[in-house]
Structure 1
């Protein structure tokens, strides 16, 4: 894993350099998510690296994942965070999951959540996985995919 972390950090630095961005990069093992975590710190370009609704940070994450797979031959899950943005987003999603689960328990009905990326749906699934009274399910296809949180029957 040490070699993979070093390689991921090097690749992230190279990618950011090609983007013309001055940033500090640190790679670490994220055991909880079974991933390589890339933390990027920059004073002036945080918004540029995050992008609208996190689109740029997701693109950087995808590119780094592909670069690492090409170099190592193994698929490694990459999680990129810029200035703590992803952690704040995940906390917001965990709060949303908890609130929606409570509403589902109160009403006895499934509660849909729309416009979530696959990564966002995953955070909500994992947040509620240990709740014995709630089940989650992704429904729909492609861009129309959504999440349903409902009481277990």
Structure 2
């Protein structure tokens, strides 16, 4: 009995190849397209591969008044991203770290995270030794770590599971 490509990929310890990421993107786009059809939401889907991840962006169609904003809330995007990852994993047999953006939701969330970091830095500048941010996803924590480093501070993740959060310090 030979291993199927999916069962072999399930056990991989290495970064996915460009071809595997493109496959993830195609599977994810098909899933999202079907979801949008069921929800009767208009949107154009773009697929990109960068930084070892498949990125799926859903944007308003140029020729329509899209009701895409109904799905663009951070919690909704995160939930749909997890469902899409599960659909990809079911189809390919491999864990997916794809990123889903709906109507510019990721850019809006990055701005929110930047404001959170700025507020935490004000606390530290005011004398606090540390400032803890609320729990967030691993992707959002990575973004926070990058923002914190750009501001000249240090951050670490703390906590377990859904309570995992970022703590900012001066060193």
> Which bin holds the TM-score, normalised by the shorter protein?
0.7 to 0.9
1:104 deviates by 2.5
1:97 deviates by 2.4
Structure-2 residue corresponding to 1:121: 141
Q: String of CA shifts for 1:21-59, please: whole Å, max 9, x gaps.
A: 22211111132xx321111113432231124xx221111
Out of 133, 136, 144, the position equivalent to 2:155 is 136
Q: Which has the higher strand share?
A: 1
Q: Unaligned regions of 5+ residues in structure 1, if any?
A: none
Q: Unaligned regions of 5+ residues in structure 2, if any?
A: 1-18
Q: What's the RMSD between the two structures over aligned residues?
A: 2.5
CA distance in 2, matches of 1:75, 1:49: 24
CA distance in 2, matches of 1:85, 1:130: 22
Find the structure with the greater CA-based Rg. 2
Structure-2 residue corresponding to 1:150: 169
1:65 deviates by 0.4
Partner SS, residue 65 of structure 1? helix
Structure-2 residue corresponding to 1:50: 72
Tell me, yes or no, if the aligned pair for 2:153 and 2:170 is still in contact at 8 Å: yes
Aligned length: 146
Superposition map of 1:1-150 within 5 A: 1=19, 2-31=22-51, 34-42=52-60, 43-51=65-73, 54-98=74-118, 100-101=120-121, 103-104=123-124, 107=127, 109-114=129-134, 116-118=135-137, 119-129=139-149, 134-142=153-161, 144-150=163-169
1:68 deviates by 0.4
Question: What TM-score do you get using the length of structure 2 for normalisation?
Answer: 0.70
